[in-house]
Amino acid sequence: MSNLSESHPPSFWTRIWESNIGYSFRSNPVAVASLMIFIVIVLMAVFAPLIAPFDPYDPAQIDIMNSEYPPVWIDGSDPKFLFGTDDQGRDLWSTILYGTRLSLLIGLCAVALQAFLGITIGLLAGYIGGRLDSLLMRLADIQLSFSTLMVAIIFLAVTQAMFGSETFNQYAIYFLIVVIGVAEWPQYARTVRATVLAEKKKEYVDGARVLGFGPMRIMVRHILPNSLSPIFVISTVQVANAIISEASLSFLGLGMPPSQPSLGSLISSGFDYIFSGSWWITAIPGVVLVILVLVINLLGDWMRDVLNPRLHKG
Amino acid sequence: MFAYLVKRVFQAAAVMFVISLIGFAIQDNLGDPLRELLGQSVSEEVRQELREELGLNDSFVTQYARFLGKALQGDLGTSYFFKEPALDVILKKLPATLELVLGATLIIVGLSVPLGVYTAIRPNTILSRIVMGISIVGISIPVFLTAILMIFLFSVELRWLPSYGRGDVVHVFGNWETNFASLDGWAHILLPSLALASIMLPLFIRLIRAEMMEVLQSEYVKYARAKGLWPWRIYFVHALKNTLLPVITVGGVQIGTMVAYTILTETVFQWPGMGFMFLEAVNRVDTPLIVAYLIVVGFIFVVTNTIVDLIYGLVNPTVNLARMGA
């Protein structure tokens, strides 16, 4: 017994570190840097209320007299405001922290919804097959043939016109998550279906069936874990795309309202002031947005090369 | 092939039917046509009379049938704001949007083919690395941000190019006024089309590169090399031809997608196209115009996708028509 406890098995993290994936990660400086930046951004977003010197949602802390101060490294600035202030007199740094939080939250929730819908549909279509399969895949084709952005713009525009902007603004975050989440399910459904079709023929699935497990258990406990690597690869790209979609929709005024801005709505409110020289209201949130999306894309690229070099075609 | 064609056209018709249903549901629930026609200060009796006259008391099916009948004749209602048939309003704005898409397409085709081929045949040169690096940054920048950046750089700081509008347009025929006939028109369309191209360009460079690299591994290319053919002939005549099939199909679908992105570029550049018009219509709750836009854009998507599918079926002899539902 004592022998066993001495050579105790490596922990989960050690195993990952020493695996092929871990090695490929360590030897890829771009991936390491991307992950570190991503973690920093996520931490800043999560702890925004603790880091931010001001609360951009609290009208008592906003003074319109403070509006359009430039960042501290430019003449005429106020040292209280690191990145300057926006058109309403909010501290830009605090607003960016809260905005990043919203953008990330919407992006991640939307992708979680996509993944849930897509994986469920993909598993069913692949495992059950037949008419259900061809019906679902035809639907996926049709859904894919319409651009997500177009569907989202029209849906949100009509919703906004129908409920009036006040009610819309209140629930904007849910509308955004639902519309981005629903419009992109075919991405997951197609991939999952393809892997299910390949896995279904393998012996372990026959084995499970012979043991008398139900289709539900086989799909979720046996096939799904073996289809995870393509799901991871799509997820990174999808999170990046969802964040861009959210920003685009908010920029058009169909997303988060200026009173509760995401990065997109901040950029949008700054755009009106770009001609008068207040470039920082647009530029700084813009840079944060691009860095966030870029590191996710870089991580996605790395992951695609490692996990499934043949997945990304067309 | 014929069965496939029929099936594909049937599917397109079914999708258009669903779109018209959605359009009608929007029209039915959004805004109040009576208020738009009569204003607020009219007695309840007159309202009821008009209501009856307009057929607003009929059943959903009857009303939908009427809507569909009119739509098939090209009557999508009258815009509340412009007081003109909604379809006419959109068709007037359509050329501006199409020219923008055309400008962007020219840029994409002109740049993505040489860059994609170059990065595929010389993957390790510095230039290739720069192109691939820029392309992943390009994918990560939203269209509207590229557009704003370009305005800031070229219009506000350098004052080289105008930041909004179409400038001098030259009348061609009917509703069509073109940007491509005057220098001022060219100056106005350059930034918006660059912005619109910026989102698709990296995608196509990466796609062409991936396809090209795969083709270059194939036996026939090795054979052509062994035969001693001039390398550029192998790349551009033999290999490129076989990479273009997937590129064309993806491209066809992306043209539809670009219509969506025109809304963003048109908003930033205040380009008087149909995307800009649509957002204005939304702000004014101009229901007939919103519905007409939905149907026109839906039609563009369905037609491009159907044509792309058919071309794919025709061009690619290996495509299994039976599997695709024929």
The predicted pLDDT at position A108 comes to 93
Distances (CA, A) of A61 to A84, A85, A88: 15, 12, 11
3-state helix, strand, coil in chain A (%, to 5): 75, 0, 25
Percent of the residues in chain A that have a pLDDT greater than 70, as a whole number: 88
Distances (CA, A) of B286 to A250, A254, B18, B31, B290: 21, 16, 22, 8, 6
- Stretches where chain B sits below pLDDT 50 are 322, 324-326
What is the per-residue DSSP string for B127-150?
HHHHHHHHHHHHHHS-HHHHHHHH
The predicted pLDDT at position B318 comes to 61
Q: pLDDT band for position A65 (50/70/90)?
A: low
Residue A227, H or E segment: none
B250 and A CB contact within 8 Å = yes
Q: For A57-61, A126-130, A191-195, which range has the lowest pLDDT when averaged over its residues?
A: A57-61
Choose among A241, A239, A289: nearest CA to A263: A289
Percent of the residues in chain A that have a pLDDT greater than 90, as a whole number: 16
- Window 249-278 of A: residues touching B by CB (8 A cutoff) are 251-253, 264, 267, 271, 274-275
Inter-chain residue contact A282 with B136, CB threshold 8 Å: no
Distances (CA, A) of A174 to A236, A246, B264: 21, 12, 22
A158 and B CB contact within 8 Å = yes
Residue B236 is given by DSSP the state I
- B172 φ, ψ to 5°? -105, -70
- Window 153-172 of B: residues touching A by CB (8 A cutoff) are 156, 163
Q: pLDDT band for position A107 (50/70/90)?
A: very high
The predicted pLDDT at position A293 comes to 92
**Ordered domains of chain B (ranges, CATH):** 86-286+303-324 (1.10.3720.10)
The pair of structure tokens assigned to A233 is: 């690869």
Mean pLDDT of A259-263: 84
Mean pLDDT of A119-131: 88
- Which of A161, A240, A271 is nearest residue B30 as measured by Cβ atoms? A161
Residue B205, H or E segment: helix B183-216
Fold for the domain defined by A84-312: MetI-like fold (1.10.3720)
| Whole-number average pLDDT of chain A | 82
pLDDT tens across A160-191, in order?
Answer: 888 877 888 888 889 999 999 988 888 899 88
Q: pLDDT band for position A113 (50/70/90)?
A: very high
Distances (CA, A) of A208 to A204, A217, A222, A228: 6, 9, 8, 19
Choose among B303, B323, B253, B142: nearest CA to A144: B253
Q: pLDDT band for position A112 (50/70/90)?
A: very high
Q: pLDDT band for position A37 (50/70/90)?
A: very high
Q: Is the pTM of this model over 0.80?
A: yes
3-state helix, strand, coil in chain B (%, to 5): 75, 5, 20
- Contacts by residues A20-29 (CB-CB < 8 Å, ≥ 24 positions apart): A20/A306, A21/A306, A21/A307, A24/A302, A24/A306, A25/A302, A25/A306, A28/A302
Give the residue extent of every domain in chain A. Answer: 84-312
